[in-house]
Amino acid sequence: MPLRECVYYLRFRTPVSVFTGLGIAGLLDRTVVRAAKWRPSPSQAGEKGLPYIPGSTVKGRLRFFADRMLRSAPPSGGCWLHPDKGVICKNLDRACTSCKLFGNPAIPALLQVSDALLDPTWQALIRTSLAGNHNPVVCPDVEIRPGIALSRKRRTALGDHLFFDEVVPPLTFSGKLLLDARVARNERNFLIAAATLVDGLGSRKCAGRGRLEGGIHIAEAGI
């Protein structure tokens, strides 16, 4: 099946953190994800060591807001969500909009989301920064933010719970969406509308991180 290619943009207005789950002993508790290999495509000119936003993170937030949008209103324009949470759609021809776009254990997703890489201009600036201050432990392209854990009962800081996170400054990232030809125009328009509702990405959104300017912007490739 032919695929329709779109481009999506993430314009952050606050620092963002998408963590690896790893840290640096005695210095950092959580580090941000970075590209592990070269990406040869000219439109996705990511470089080893540069921060990025995983496509799975973007897709997960898209699905969350799409499902919430479908639940908040009666079926319209051919877009709907199966009413029973305990049952999944098992036939693609009769699948609800959410299962059709994002898939489930019985149906493959008709939407593919690539990783979001830094805007080429920011890539060049960060590459220069890394080359001029090559530190194998603390990278100059991120900030180190302290945090504390709070007691749910006392609402006070817990002892021995100070931690340090890496955060990427508010920059612009972009990636690709690939839509199967079986995705109808109204479903594509619905996805674009739902994307504008995504308010943030990454970890510790409650602390104001990863806030987006105007949600996720989706446009036809080449526009």
pLDDT tens by residue, 65-94? 999 999 988 777 889 998 877 788 999 999
Average pLDDT of the residues of the chain: 88
- Residue 38 has a pLDDT of 45
- Strand 52-53 to 172-180 pairing: unpaired
For 40-171, where are the E strands, in sequence order? Answer: 52-53, 111-113, 116-118, 143-150, 157-167
Cβ neighbours, 10 Å, residue 82:
17
CB 111 within 8 A of CB 191: yes
The predicted model scores a pTM of: 0.88
CA–CA gap between residue 79 and residue 186 (Å, rounded): 8
Local structure of residue 77 (DSSP, 8 states): T
The whole-angstrom separation of Cα 124 and Cα 120 is: 6
Contacts of 219 (CB under 8 A, 6+ apart): 6, 7, 8, 9
| pLDDT tens track for 4-48 | 999 999 999 999 999 998 888 878 988 999 987 544 444 444 577
Predicted confidence at residue 1, as pLDDT, reads 61
| HSE-up of residue 142 (Cα within 13 Å, Cβ side) | 26
Residue-wise pLDDT tens digits, 159-180: 888 889 999 999 999 999 999 9
The candidate with the shortest Cα–Cα distance to 174, out of 87, 53, 81, is 53
